[in-house]
Amino acid sequence: MNNPLIIGFALVALDVVVWRCAIPRNEVARLLVRLCIYAAFSALLFSSNLSPFSQAPYLNSRPLHVIGQVLEIIWWLMGARLLSMALDTLLLPRTWRRQRLFQDVFGALVFLAAVVAALGFVLELPVRGLVATSGALAIVLGLAIQSTLSDVFAGIVINTTEPYHIGNWVSIDGVEGKVLEMNWRATHLLTSQGNIVIVPNAVAAKAKITNSSRPPTLHGVTVTLEITPEARPGVVLAALERALAGVRAVIADPAPYALVKRTTVTSIQYEATAYVDDMSKKLAATNELYDLCYRHLAAAGVELRPLGVPYAPPAPAAQVDRKIGLLRRVELFAALTQEELARLAPLLSRHEYDRGDIVLTPETVPDNLSIVDSGVLSVVAENASGTVEVNRLGPGDAMGEAGLLAGMPARVKISALTQAVVYQLKKDDVTPLLKDNPDVAKLMCRLLSRRQDTLGKLGAPTPVAQSEQSIFQWLLDGMRKLHDLTF
């Protein structure tokens, strides 16, 4: 007579071991094993007259009677747990399974039903009175936790309508972050500062939600600028459009655009918008767009100054020569003094290119240094996989320095993406400067060696297959020979 009880507790212990040790590892296989154990446990109880729908036998032995009732109650609880797990594993969609709300709510309802059934069938308590009493208690409890219940029902609505999923990057009620968890009470967001923000479901259900992860291959990048009202809007918009064309990460469809957002007494607000195909590119594209807007506005003659300050045109003597300002923006000439820049400025010659014009071809040895004054140029290189765009040049960027400094042929093809204005400086005009400034010559070679090393990493053919320091020395020797330098 004791064997069924012992075997019953052995089966319960086996189920606990399978649950806690996660054996087998596969979730579906583990659920099937537990269902088989539960089936064997059920067959044992019913074959031993331990029916979960009535009181346990052994009324003449109180310890055995209590043990039998415990097994019957365990049967109800095990069934409730396995039922909730089976529905969660086999029936619920994968996206719902990642969210704990349905699992928690459904599990609570099933366990509540199992507890009521166990009290009614096994312990033979008056269920009607218990239900009536629990109903009154539920009303009192509901009034006490109505805000929490509001979160629960709002969570059901959110999980049903699915405005976002775990892993999406969203903005809820002004809080932007990545969705880490969705449960019966709140949504957990990981912000860009690394903080966890908990947004109650009731707030999320009423708030305006922006899901940046939908559609997954289209993410907007917007830059807002306030420009002095003295600047002509057509000039500003053209400069912003060139800045948008200079960002390589921007996709062509939908097309980027610039517009006048609003006007005030002290400024005109402009907005430049583009789109990228990957959320991870958004931050870098935004920063690059800000920099390009600054450069293209400066190249268009739009002065960025504190707003609200009356415009005062500079006196003629104080105006800086445009060519000197262009040379000052070139990284190669960063070490030159104002006097040295003033000597180079008159030697610059102006050249215009239409969209699609070829500025520089591979294997050509340029005999001049070209500096972009306005417009956007595309730099394309050849590698093992074919043609790849490695850079886009904007105002202040230089090209042809390899041929000018060391007589090295170009390794890239450069063409105009927009109408462009380029100023050129001939090799013979640079030679006196290099002879008088050895440090400037070495700095130029250092910068050029880094660019050549970047091209080498992209797979383009290199002039010398060694380290960056060897490329620098190779370029320096070529400069000495080309310009007849003695240092």
| 219-299 matches 322-483 in fold | no
> Top-level CATH class of 219-299?
alpha beta
Domain topology for 164-211: SH3 type barrels. (2.30.30)
> pLDDT at residue 126 above 80?
no
Q: What torsion do the CA atoms of 443, 449, 451, 455 make, to the nearest 10 degrees?
A: 180
pLDDT digits (tens, 9 = 90+) for 3-26: 788 888 888 899 888 888 888 888
Structure tokens at 56: 């346990």
Give me the pLDDT at residue 385, please. Answer: 74
The class that CATH gives domain 322-483 is: mainly beta
Task: Check residue 467 and give its pLDDT.
Answer: 47
More confident residue, 148 or 205: 205
Tens-digit pLDDT profile for residues 146-163: 677 788 788 878 877 888
Residue 320 pLDDT = 47
Band of pLDDT at residue 465, cut at 50, 70 and 90: very low
pTM, two decimals, is 0.63
At residue 142, the pLDDT reads 57
Q: For all residues of the chain together, what is the average pLDDT?
A: 81
**Averaging pLDDT over each range in 36-45, 89-98, 125-134, 327-336, which range is the top one?**
36-45
What pLDDT score was predicted for residue 102?
61
pLDDT in tens, 132-148: 556 655 665 555 556 77
Chain segment 474-486, per-residue pLDDT in tens: 777 777 777 777 7
Least confident of 32-41, 86-95, 371-380: 86-95
pLDDT band at 365 (very low <50, low <70, confident <90, very high): confident
Sign (positive or negative) of CA dihedral 375, 299, 289, 224: negative
**Domain limits, the chain:** 3-144, 164-211, 219-299, 322-483
Query: Residue 466: is its pLDDT beyond 50?
Result: no
Nearest to 123 by CA among 79, 80, 65: 65
Mean pLDDT of the 278-290 span: 90
pLDDT of residue 463: 54
